[in-house]
Amino acid sequence: MGGKLRIFPALPDVWKDVCFSGLRTEGAFKVSANRKDGKTLFIHIKSLTGEPCIVTTDIVNPIFKGKRTFTVQATTNDTYQIDLKKGEEVLIYPQGKIPDFIISPIPPVSKNHFGLKNVQTNT
């Protein structure tokens, strides 16, 4: 999809808390991310083949942390190109706010966002 990893690109406003773990993406990346109270806490990306890693995120002033110092080039619209090589991993999180990097289940909400249940009536 345009060669970019778009993290949480189009969520409904009511989805304040969202997380996923180990999502495999186009370009051979494995991605995990956590969003709480409408803000992305962190993104974890692992390169499986060494393809160019271009990521779009809503994180303001992101930190890119890994086993080495990455060259990160900011492009347009909150998009960054990271020199991630095969097998390397990067954690992306807001500057000054080190999250706990834990993915845990989101508690269910009482509202059904997927439509109404089909109710059978006897006639």
**38-73: pLDDT as tens digits:** 999 999 999 999 999 999 999 999 999 999 999 999
Query: How far lies 35's CA from each of 23, 43, 97, 110, 121, in Å?
Result: 15, 9, 14, 20, 41
Closest C-alpha to 104, from 34, 57, 11: 34
Residue-level pLDDT at 77: 80
Looking at the DSSP bridge assignments, the partners of residue 47 are 29
Buried b (16+ CB within 10 A) or exposed e, 33-66: bbbeeeebbbbbbbbeeeeebbbbbebeebbbee
What pLDDT is recorded for position 12? 87
Instruction: Return the pLDDT at 65.
Output: 96
pTM value is: 0.84
Name residues of the chain where pLDDT drops below 50: 1
Q: What secondary structure does DSSP assign to 13-54, as a single string? A: TT---EEEEEEEETTTEEEEEEEETTEEEEEEEEESS---EE
